[in-house]
Structure 1
Amino acid sequence: MTDTSDPRRSRAGLSGLVVPVPEADPVVGAVRDRLDPHARAGIPAHVTVLFPFLDASLLDEGTLARLARTFAGHRSFAARFERFGRFPGLLHLAPSPDAPFRALTAAVTARWPEVPPYGGRFGDPDPHLTLAQGQDDDVLDAAEAEVRDALPVVTRVTSVELVVHDGTVWRHRTGFPLGG
């Protein structure tokens, strides 16, 4: 959930949809713990599908069922993370391929157009796994060097998770399996 704001100031009830990448934790966990405030707020290594999503008060059984049907219409897929990318003050790993991640985001935003990715601030955002944010280039350079030799990270994407902020940390609410 790439947002340069401090996640500890996130309001209770904020939600997001993420693809966890647990295979990345041994490779990038130490860097994320130091340099990504979302890691310290309970968000695992992930690629964001949609943030912010609906307020937790709107996540009723009907909404959860629509999400489940949406994601069941997408096949599971493999992804590799071996290429670094940057946005201002942010270091990330870019997934390859990125089209399946984009398709997940497109499917959710087609169903809920009132919640565009990142509130519409970045247009069509590139899928990515954030390593560090809110840092100077020299810190990002050092983080990249720390991780480089342990790449690639390879994962099989089989689900999307709904996470909700409780006012202090992010918590897993439920998961939605992909089809196939």
Structure 2
Amino acid sequence: MPPATPDVPPGTVPQAAPVTGAGDWPRDWPAGWQSALLVAVPAAEPAVAGHRARLDTSARDGVPAHLTVLYPFLPPSGIDETVRGALAGLFSGVPAFGFTLDRVRWFGDEVVWLGPGEPERFSALTALAFAAFPSCPPYGGGYDEVIPHLTVGDRGGLAAMRAAAAAILPHLPIEATATEVTLMAGPPPGDPDSPPGQWRRLAAFPLG
């Protein structure tokens, strides 16, 4: 994805819209909107928010620091009460868990990310969600291996991403707890025609 556009002030992250209750679930969704299941990591924001605002278009779009559980998920128009109930039941059977972000890693020279010391916990969430919704392979089935990660920069310029990685290192390890899986929806990430902050938090499914 291209770097965040300059209409977002440095060091800021657009805030996603609040959770939508079942009673006011939108009936009509813009064409092309996507959804995602993720574990937000508020504990990482002090270390990564400013860098993500400059280097990761998903931050511009209103997506918080996170590890992805399943993306792309169903189109928002296909997420009805039955689907939401299934997600609630699915994740309630998984105990909440603590984890540590303790490493900086790269996908080639294009993506810099933080990795959890316990990646298998997130891999298990992804496998669980994919098994329940087999029409939604992780990342569209584009990768042989899905590595749990928190993106700091995605094609944001190699020098800038290296500087971000160096700046984040002193903040590690970051201790966090996964207590819920969040459902979000919005336009395709990095869409230059969409204003900032369009991704919205639709629901949160507590872990058991």
User: Considering the TM-score relative to the shorter chain, is it more than 0.5?
Assistant: yes
Structure 2 matches for 1:23-102, cutoff 5 A?
23-88=43-108, 89-102=110-123
Cα deviation, 1:33-58, whole Å, max 9, x if unaligned, reads 11111101100000000000000111
Alpha-carbon distance, 1:147 to partner: 0.8
For the structure 1 residues 122 and 153, does the alpha-carbon distance in structure 2 shift closer, same or farther, using more than 3 Å as the test?
same
Q: Which has the higher mean CA deviation after the structures are superposed, 120-129 or 46-55?
A: 120-129
The one-letter amino acid of 1:92's match is W
Instruction: Supply the distance in 2 between the matched residues of 1:7 and 1:108 (Cα, whole angstroms).
Output: 30
For the structure 1 residues 102 and 119, does the alpha-carbon distance in structure 2 shift closer, same or farther, using more than 3 Å as the test?
same
The count of corresponding residues between Structure 1 and Structure 2 is 175
For the structure 1 residues 46 and 34, does the alpha-carbon distance in structure 2 shift closer, same or farther, using more than 3 Å as the test?
same
SS at match of 1:106: helix
Of residues 129, 148, 155, the one that matches 2:169 is 148
SS at match of 1:149: helix
User: Is there any run of 5+ residues in structure 2 with no aligned partner, and where?
Assistant: 6-29, 188-193
In structure 1, what is the equivalent of residue 184 of structure 2?
Answer: 163
The alignment's TM-score, normalised by the length of structure 2, stands at: 0.79
Alpha-carbon distance, 1:128 to partner: 0.2
Q: Is contact 2:54–2:156 with CA below 8 Å preserved after alignment?
A: no
In structure 1, what is the equivalent of residue 129 of structure 2?
Answer: 108
For the structure 1 residues 11 and 42, does the alpha-carbon distance in structure 2 shift closer, same or farther, using more than 3 Å as the test?
farther
Instruction: Supply the distance in 2 between the matched residues of 1:34 and 1:13 (Cα, whole angstroms).
Output: 23
Q: Is contact 2:35–2:76 with CA below 8 Å preserved after alignment?
A: yes
In structure 2, what is the equivalent of residue 123 of structure 1?
Answer: 144
Question: Are 1:15 and 2:35 counterparts?
Answer: yes
Instruction: Supply the distance in 1 between the matched residues of 2:87 and 2:42 (Cα, whole angstroms).
Output: 22
The CA RMSD over aligned residues, in Å, is 1.9
SS at match of 1:130: strand
The one-letter amino acid of 2:202's match is R
For the structure 1 residues 25 and 13, does the alpha-carbon distance in structure 2 shift closer, same or farther, using more than 3 Å as the test?
same
Instruction: Supply the distance in 1 between the matched residues of 2:81 and 2:122 (Cα, whole angstroms).
Output: 25
Cα deviation, 1:118-177, whole Å, max 9, x if unaligned, reads 000112310000000113432221111111111111101000000010565110000000
Instruction: Supply the distance in 2 between the matched residues of 1:65 and 1:58 (Cα, whole angstroms).
Output: 13
SS at match of 1:85: strand
Percentage identity across paired residues of the two chains = 38
Q: Is contact 2:3–2:155 with CA below 8 Å preserved after alignment?
A: no
Instruction: Supply the distance in 1 between the matched residues of 2:143 and 2:31 (Cα, whole angstroms).
Output: 21
Q: Is contact 1:117–1:124 with CA below 8 Å preserved after alignment?
A: no
For the structure 1 residues 171 and 6, does the alpha-carbon distance in structure 2 shift closer, same or farther, using more than 3 Å as the test?
farther
Instruction: Supply the distance in 1 between the matched residues of 2:2 and 2:137 (Cα, whole angstroms).
Output: 18
The one-letter amino acid of 2:123's match is R
Structure (1/2) with the larger strand percentage: 1
